[in-house]
Structure 1
Amino acid sequence: MKNHQLKDRNVSGINKNIIATLAYFDVFNYPLTAGEIFLFLGDKCDNEAFNATLSHLLITDSVYKFDGFYTLKNDPNIAIRRQEGNSKAAELIKIAEKVGHILIRFPYVRGIAISGSLSKNFADDESDIDLFIITAKNRLWIARTLLHMLKKLTFLVNKEHFFCMNYFIDEDGLEIVEKNIYTATEIVTLIPLEGDITFEKFYSVNAWTTTYLPNNYMRVATARPLRNTGLKRLIELAFNNKLGNAIDNMLRNITASRWLKKTLQKRVNMKGIVMGMSATKHFAKPDPVNFQHKLIRRYESRVNELLHDTESTLAHV
Structure 2
Amino acid sequence: MSEKMIFSVLSIVGKLGSALNEESLHAILPEEMKTTDLKSRLNTMESSGKISRLNELIVPHVNPNQFSKNKKLSRDLFKSNKRYLKLFAQIPWVRYMALTGSNAFESCSKNDDIDLFVICAPKRLWIIYLTMTILGKVFNKRPLFCVNYLIDEDNLKLPQQDYYSAVQFYKMKPLFNAGFKQKLLIQNKWIAENLPNASSAFSTEEFYRLRKDFTGKATNSRVWSWLNKKILDFYKKRWTRMYPFQINKNILIDEGLAKLHRIDHSSIYDEIL
State the alpha-carbon separation in 2 of the partners of residues 114 and 277 from structure 1.
19
Aligned to 1:24: 12
State whether structure 2 residue 170 is matched by structure 1 residue 188: yes
State the alpha-carbon separation in 2 of the partners of residues 123 and 164 from structure 1.
14
Gaps of 5+ in 2: none
| Range 39-48 or range 250-259, more displaced | 39-48
Q: Secondary structure at the match of 2:259?
A: strand
Q: Secondary structure at the match of 1:221?
A: coil
Aligned to 2:43: 55
State the alpha-carbon separation in 2 of the partners of residues 154 and 42 from structure 1.
41
The alpha-carbon deviation at position 227 of structure 1 amounts to 4.1
| Cα pair 1:263 1:276 within 8 Å, conserved | no
State the alpha-carbon separation in 1 of the partners of residues 99 and 66 from structure 2.
21
Q: Which amino acid aligns with 1:250?
A: K
State the alpha-carbon separation in 1 of the partners of residues 202 and 33 from structure 2.
25
Structure with more contact order per residue of length (Cα contacts < 8 Å, sep ≥ 6): 2
Q: How many residues in Structure 1 have an aligned counterpart in Structure 2?
A: 266
The structure-2 alpha-carbon separation of the partners of 1:149 and 1:92, relative to structure 1 and needing over 3 Å to count, comes to same
State whether structure 2 residue 227 is matched by structure 1 residue 247: yes
The structure-2 alpha-carbon separation of the partners of 1:185 and 1:172, relative to structure 1 and needing over 3 Å to count, comes to same
State the alpha-carbon separation in 1 of the partners of residues 153 and 103 from structure 2.
24
| Cα pair 1:18 1:41 within 8 Å, conserved | yes
Aligned to 1:6: none
- Please, which of 253, 266, 269 is the counterpart of residue 296 of structure 1? 266
| Cα pair 1:130 1:165 within 8 Å, conserved | yes
- Please, which of 234, 251, 255 is the counterpart of residue 277 of structure 1? 251
| Cα pair 1:196 1:224 within 8 Å, conserved | no
Q: Which amino acid aligns with 1:296?
A: S
Gaps of 5+ in 1: 1-12, 267-274, 304-317
State the alpha-carbon separation in 2 of the partners of residues 302 and 185 from structure 1.
15
| Cα pair 2:18 2:105 within 8 Å, conserved | no
Aligned to 1:136: 121
Q: Which amino acid aligns with 2:15?
A: V
**TM-score normalised by structure 2 residue count:** 0.84
The structure-2 alpha-carbon separation of the partners of 1:99 and 1:207, relative to structure 1 and needing over 3 Å to count, comes to farther
The structure-2 alpha-carbon separation of the partners of 1:96 and 1:175, relative to structure 1 and needing over 3 Å to count, comes to farther
- Please, which of 100, 117, 132 is the counterpart of residue 102 of structure 2? 117
State the alpha-carbon separation in 2 of the partners of residues 278 and 60 from structure 1.
45
The alpha-carbon deviation at position 97 of structure 1 amounts to 4.5
State the alpha-carbon separation in 1 of the partners of residues 81 and 179 from structure 2.
20
Larger Rg: 1
State the alpha-carbon separation in 2 of the partners of residues 40 and 265 from structure 1.
31
State the alpha-carbon separation in 1 of the partners of residues 201 and 240 from structure 2.
35
State the alpha-carbon separation in 2 of the partners of residues 178 and 47 from structure 1.
29
Aligned to 1:70: 58
Aligned to 2:27: 39
The alpha-carbon deviation at position 94 of structure 1 amounts to 3.1
The alpha-carbon deviation at position 208 of structure 1 amounts to 2.6
State the alpha-carbon separation in 2 of the partners of residues 209 and 43 from structure 1.
12
| Cα pair 2:114 2:146 within 8 Å, conserved | yes
**TM-score normalised by structure 1 residue count:** 0.74
Aligned to 1:154: 139
Identity %: 21
Aligned to 2:155: 173
User: What do you get for the CA RMSD once the two structures are aligned?
Assistant: 2.7
State whether structure 2 residue 230 is matched by structure 1 residue 258: no
The alpha-carbon deviation at position 50 of structure 1 amounts to 1.6
Aligned to 1:211: 193
Alpha-carbon displacement from aligned partner over 1:277-309 (angstroms, at most 9, x marks no partner): 32011111125xx534xx434433333xxxxxx
The structure-2 alpha-carbon separation of the partners of 1:183 and 1:96, relative to structure 1 and needing over 3 Å to count, comes to farther
State the alpha-carbon separation in 2 of the partners of residues 276 and 185 from structure 1.
17
Q: Which amino acid aligns with 2:68?
A: Q
Alpha-carbon displacement from aligned partner over 1:66-99 (angstroms, at most 9, x marks no partner): 5344344x33x2x111110111222233345433
| Cα pair 1:259 1:276 within 8 Å, conserved | no
The structure-2 alpha-carbon separation of the partners of 1:212 and 1:92, relative to structure 1 and needing over 3 Å to count, comes to same
Q: Which amino acid aligns with 1:130?
A: D
- Please, which of 69, 85, 89 is the counterpart of residue 84 of structure 1? 69
